[in-house]
């Protein structure tokens, strides 16, 4: 499969919805960057200023300007001083909603053995950096998302690494392909408030 063989890209209307809806709908779609293509298998929803795990909680800053912009744009930021994270801005301008892509299954253009299970790994695999921040995913010829070719079975859990957000950390706003081997496997201590037992993903 090549980027050209994929169905048409996702339209603006796809992104112009609550991040919770878009996060689930993105599982199984394809992330295309140049000649590199990967199927999205894991996402997390971040739902604006009232979501204390979301960057929007700090208001409009130079860093969050893209996040508060119109839907259908890439929001790429650095964490831990070393990992770029790829997000999709959704809902509407000024809403501060975004979906973090947490895991992908490489399809084409990615070297054998290169992993996409985790937000830092997938951006390296697809050569996505902060240079792609604010790219219009509807208009760009190089970076965009294409529809699913099949519907996955989707599971949900609390998000990863957001215990600092308090009670909202336990909201089941992480979605993943239940059959994929490319979903990240975070420690149960990092999921939600870290108090759940028996969590496998």
How does pLDDT run across 135-168, given as a tens digit for each residue?
999 999 999 999 999 999 999 999 999 999 999 9
Taking a C-beta distance cutoff of 8 angstroms, is the pair 3, 33 a contact?
A: no
Q: If you write DSSP's letter for every residue of 77-100 in order, what string do you get? A: EEETTTEEEEEEEES-TTS-EEEE
pLDDT beyond 60 at 195: yes
Mean pLDDT of 65-71: 97
Q: How confident is the model at residue 4 (pLDDT cuts 50, 70, 90)?
A: very low
Structure tokens that stand for 168 in this block: 């909202």
> In CATH, what number is assigned to the domain containing residue 18?
3.10.300.10
Mean pLDDT of 119-142: 97
Domain of residue 118: give its range: 3-151
Residue at 65 is within a domain? yes
Q: How confident is the model at residue 79 (pLDDT cuts 50, 70, 90)?
A: confident
The candidate with the shortest Cα–Cα distance to 102, out of 27, 48, 164, 190, is: 27
Residue at 170 is within a domain? no
Q: Which residue has the higher pLDDT, 91 or 2?
A: 91
Taking a C-beta distance cutoff of 8 angstroms, is the pair 102, 115 a contact?
A: no
Residue at 107 is within a domain? yes
Mean pLDDT of 13-31: 98
Residue at 92 is within a domain? yes
Split into its structural domains, the chain has a count of: 1
Compute the Cα dihedral for 178, 150, 43, 13 and give only its sign.
negative
pLDDT beyond 70 at 3: no
pLDDT for 2:
43
Residue at 172 is within a domain? no
Q: How far apart are CA 142 and CA 31, in angstroms?
A: 10
pTM, 2 dp:
0.93
Half-sphere exposure of residue 172, counting CA atoms within 13 Å on the CB side?
10
The candidate with the shortest Cα–Cα distance to 61, out of 75, 44, 45, 82, is: 75
Residue at 114 is within a domain? yes
**Mean predicted lDDT score pLDDT of the chain:** 93
The candidate with the shortest Cα–Cα distance to 103, out of 26, 199, 4, 49, is: 26
Tell me the β-bridge partners of 40: 104
Q: At a CB cut-off of 8 Å and minimum separation 6, what does 111 contact?
A: none
């Amino acid at each position: 499969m090549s980027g050209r063989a994929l169905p048409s890209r996702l339209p603006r209307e796809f992104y112009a919805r609550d991040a919770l809806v878009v996060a689930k709908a993105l599982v199984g779609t394809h992330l295309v960057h140049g000649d590199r293509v990967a199927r999205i298998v894991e996402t997390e929803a971040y739902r604006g200023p009232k979501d204390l795990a979301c960057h929007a909680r700090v208001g409009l800053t130079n860093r969050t300007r893209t996040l508060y912009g119109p839907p259908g744009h890439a929001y790429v930021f650095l964490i831990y001083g070393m990992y770029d994270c790829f997000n999709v801005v959704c809902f509407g301008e000024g809403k501060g909603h975004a979906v973090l892509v947490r895991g992908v299954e490489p399809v084409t253009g990615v070297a054998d053995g290169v992993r996409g299970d985790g937000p830092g790994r997938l951006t390296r695999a697809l050569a996505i950096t902060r240079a792609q921040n604010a790219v219009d995913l509807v208009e760009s010829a190089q970076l965009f998302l294409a529809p699913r070719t099949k519907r996955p079975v989707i599971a949900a859990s609390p998000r990863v690494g957001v215990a600092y957000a308090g009670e909202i950390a336990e909201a089941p706003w992480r979605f993943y392909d239940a059959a994929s081997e490319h979903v990240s496997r975070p420690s149960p201590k990092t999921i939600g408030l870290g108090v759940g037992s028996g969590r496998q993903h």
